[in-house]
Structure 1
Amino acid sequence: MVEIATEVRWQDHRLEIPMERIRLSEELGFDAVFTAGGYGCEELVELGYIAAQTSRLKIGTRITEVTGRAPAMAAMAFQTLNHLTGGGRVIAGLGTGSVPTAEGMQGRPWGRPVSRMRDFVTIMRQLLAGEKADHQGKEWSAPYQGPGARGAEPSAIGLVPLGEIPVMVGAAGPQMTTLAAEIGDGWMPASWAPGIMPLMEPLLQKGFERAGDGRSLKDFEIWGHVDMNVHDDVREAMRPFKEYVVTWSQMQHQFMAARGYPDLSATLGAIIAEATEAGAADDPRARHLEGRPMLDEPYWQRALDAVPDEYIDDGWLVGPVRRIRNRVAPWLDCGLTGVVFRYGDQLTHDRHVENLDAFRAVAAAAGRASFTG
């Protein structure tokens, strides 16, 4: 059975953990709740808060960044949560983050993200298993043996392991996706839509072959996500997701092509380039942080109009609650082992008023609870 989960937003300027929704999801039979790392709230602190107020849900990160946090610190945090929850409820989702966050805020070089993930997972797994950290890598090493090193011996963390903590690798590009299959217990794709699994499977298979331990897709978890927006007007419900597609279009080329829209990224790129030349697209990061559109008019509306309705309708869940319920099924049969159902606009920094009936509809569609709405 495909697992279902919810997630806590990381974008909001004022943090409020949605405990009403999280408690409801536990009652409805959801399997997990995730917190997301970014440049706002700290995801592992949030998990401690949630763990104290839930009893059954798995708790995990989607994702914790491996650039600004040492692998030993991550191992201690995840093992601490594991002890607090009695073991068996923690999922460690890892990702590389972004250049602005790594270099602009954390003061760490972007370097070689694939090598960094390999080093991080190697050291963290040693520590989670109760072993001493002993790995000299290209990006992360323990013990430290660089300039000024005092010759410290390999060391372990003090908490004893309580079972295994699954390690998921967040990945968007092909190299990191292959690495996820090679070294991870699972993969957290940056984007997903029903129908793209056949294009992703060769990348994963390459990783299984590199690992050489006999694992295959049947031994591997894939946690994807889908965003929902309830509105009586379906096209109006699509708008925030069209805005998201335009804003992040230049990072979504591979995903757009995999979904059968190979020209969409180029079309949006041309509009953005035209706007930039006209001085209508200055400082995109500042615009994002301030909650402003990345383009001035008329370029913004032109870009939104270039995103086909079908692209949104097949990759998000939009419209009245009953329509959303009727469109959940493809997400439960598309190669994912777990689906994270998120709510609302992912660009705004203001907290949403969530329609909890959307989560009730998901639980009903997944056979976890009854709902007649």
Structure 2
Amino acid sequence: MKLGLSLGYSRAHLDIPVALVQRAEALGYDSVWTAEAYGSDAVTPLAFLAAHTSRIKLGTGIMQLAARTPANAAMCAGTVDALAGGGRFIAGLGVSGPQIVEGWYGEPWGKPYYRMRDYVAIMRKIFRREEPVSHDGREISLPYTGEGAMGIGKPLKSILHMNPDIPIYLATSNEATVKLTAEIADGWLPLGFMPGSMAEYQPWLEEGFKRAGNGKSLQNFAIHASVHVEVCDDVAAGLAKLKPEVALYVGGMGHRKKNFHNDLMVRHGFGDAAARIQELYLAGRKDEAIAAVPDEWVDMKSLVGPAARILQRYRPWEDSGADSLSVRSRQPEAIELMAKAARLN
């Protein structure tokens, strides 16, 4: 099992824990991941970290599709990869949700399935520089010929000779998009993955590999899961620290009728709790929403408690079907403990 370090996105102030990332690199961590919502972007911190590290891979978890065109996403990936010395960047992509896409970026939600397919195809063409880039897609076309076009767009080839093999991972969760991920991407950033999840996802992945038709399989496809890690003596208190984020995502990160995190909780048998959390959160009763998050749900998705408990509960993650696991923590002791769990030293 390879380990990654997930830094997430900034809160009110940007704080990049350089020393923690350097320690993770020294311990043998394979990657570090940054995110974006509607504050700090995911790419710029990786350029900063590239200057302070030498080996660790630099992944976006994720770049939101609506935040930049596929050409700009490819430019960002190629630029940071070149700055880092080549072979270190992982372009993690995701659609976010309609509230952010339409409310923050001012872009139509459209058809995310086809947008992802077009987006990845265009990025790969740009990376490879085989010819000037054109693409006739259902959601994205180059050159643009839609409403308001002058009609003089010209296919272009990147001036920068990029790494042609920058890996692209997709963050997806439902059947159609997981199949698409297995078909067109190099890796998968599964939403809400935990031990036992592969029983549901593997048939979808296998169908996607079959569609790819190029010998693709679980042996040459990355599955990069993530887990909160909280080292503490009091398990209940540790779980309580993680509940505000669960309440935010399940209750408020999305519309009442369109919330992927809420849907995931329902699929795992916590439908009543998911409905109650959302009801309370959207009513402005955030403290009650947090209190309504079941301990069991948080514990399923996290590694919390004393070192011995975390080491014991790590083993099912090692056998989960994921080949990489991002540690979502800024606790130095958590970073050290997970290196021990994965036997990196």
Instruction: State TM-score, norm by structure 2.
Output: 0.91
Identity %: 35
Relative distance call for 1:197 and 1:322 in structure 2 (3 A) is same
Counterpart for residue 144 of structure 1: 144
Equivalent of 1:356, from 322, 326, 332? 332
Counterpart for residue 168 of structure 2: 167
The AA in structure 2 aligned to 1:355 is Q
Relative distance call for 1:211 and 1:238 in structure 2 (3 A) is same
- Say whether the 8 Å CA contact 2:92–2:170 is kept in structure 1: yes
Counterpart for residue 312 of structure 1: 298
- Say whether the 8 Å CA contact 1:91–1:168 is kept in structure 2: yes
- Say whether the 8 Å CA contact 1:87–1:163 is kept in structure 2: no
Counterpart for residue 338 of structure 1: 324
Counterpart for residue 255 of structure 1: 264
The AA in structure 2 aligned to 1:113 is P
The AA in structure 2 aligned to 1:329 is R
How far residue 324 of structure 1 moved from its aligned partner, in angstroms, is: 2.1
Measure, in 1, the Cα distance between the counterparts of 2:344 and 2:290.
Answer: 40
- Say whether the 8 Å CA contact 2:127–2:163 is kept in structure 1: no
Alignment of structure 1 residues 159-308 onto 2, 5 Å: 159-249=160-250, 251-252=260-261, 255-256=264-265, 261-262=268-269, 264-270=270-276, 272-273=278-279, 275=280, 281-282=282-283, 295=285, 299-300=288-289, 303-304=292-293, 307=294
Measure, in 1, the Cα distance between the counterparts of 2:44 and 2:262.
Answer: 34
Counterpart for residue 73 of structure 1: 72
- 3-state SS, counterpart of residue 171 of structure 1: coil
- Say whether the 8 Å CA contact 1:321–1:357 is kept in structure 2: no
- Say whether the 8 Å CA contact 1:272–1:295 is kept in structure 2: no
- Say whether the 8 Å CA contact 1:171–1:189 is kept in structure 2: yes
Stretch deviating more after TM superposition (317-326 or 100-109): 317-326
How far residue 270 of structure 1 moved from its aligned partner, in angstroms, is: 4.5
Relative distance call for 1:17 and 1:269 in structure 2 (3 A) is same
Relative distance call for 1:122 and 1:362 in structure 2 (3 A) is same
**RMSD of equivalent CA atoms:** 2.0
How far residue 296 of structure 1 moved from its aligned partner, in angstroms, is: 5.4
The AA in structure 1 aligned to 2:25 is E
Measure, in 1, the Cα distance between the counterparts of 2:278 and 2:76.
Answer: 41
Relative distance call for 1:111 and 1:174 in structure 2 (3 A) is same
- 3-state SS, counterpart of residue 108 of structure 2: coil
- Say whether the 8 Å CA contact 1:222–1:336 is kept in structure 2: yes
Relative distance call for 1:236 and 1:146 in structure 2 (3 A) is same
Q: Given the alignment of the two structures, is residue 109 of structure 1 paired with residue 108 of structure 2, yes or no?
A: yes
Deviations 1:84-134 (A, max 9, x none): 122111111110112122111111111111111111101111001113221
Deviations 1:163-217 (A, max 9, x none): 5111101112221111101110111111111111111011111211222222111
Gap regions ≥5 residues in structure 1: 283-293, 344-353
The AA in structure 2 aligned to 1:71 is P
- Say whether the 8 Å CA contact 1:223–1:336 is kept in structure 2: yes
Deviations 1:192-249 (A, max 9, x none): 1111111101111121122222211111111110011222210111113334334433
Measure, in 1, the Cα distance between the counterparts of 2:164 and 2:154.
Answer: 26
Relative distance call for 1:244 and 1:17 in structure 2 (3 A) is closer
- Say whether the 8 Å CA contact 2:32–2:58 is kept in structure 1: yes
Stretch deviating more after TM superposition (2-11 or 187-196): 2-11
Relative distance call for 1:180 and 1:360 in structure 2 (3 A) is same
Relative distance call for 1:301 and 1:24 in structure 2 (3 A) is closer
The AA in structure 1 aligned to 2:177 is M
Measure, in 2, the Cα distance between the counterparts of 1:296 and 1:80.
Answer: 41
How far residue 302 of structure 1 moved from its aligned partner, in angstroms, is: 5.9
- 3-state SS, counterpart of residue 152 of structure 2: coil
Counterpart for residue 56 of structure 2: 57
Gap regions ≥5 residues in structure 2: 251-258
How far residue 68 of structure 1 moved from its aligned partner, in angstroms, is: 2.7
Counterpart for residue 255 of structure 2: none
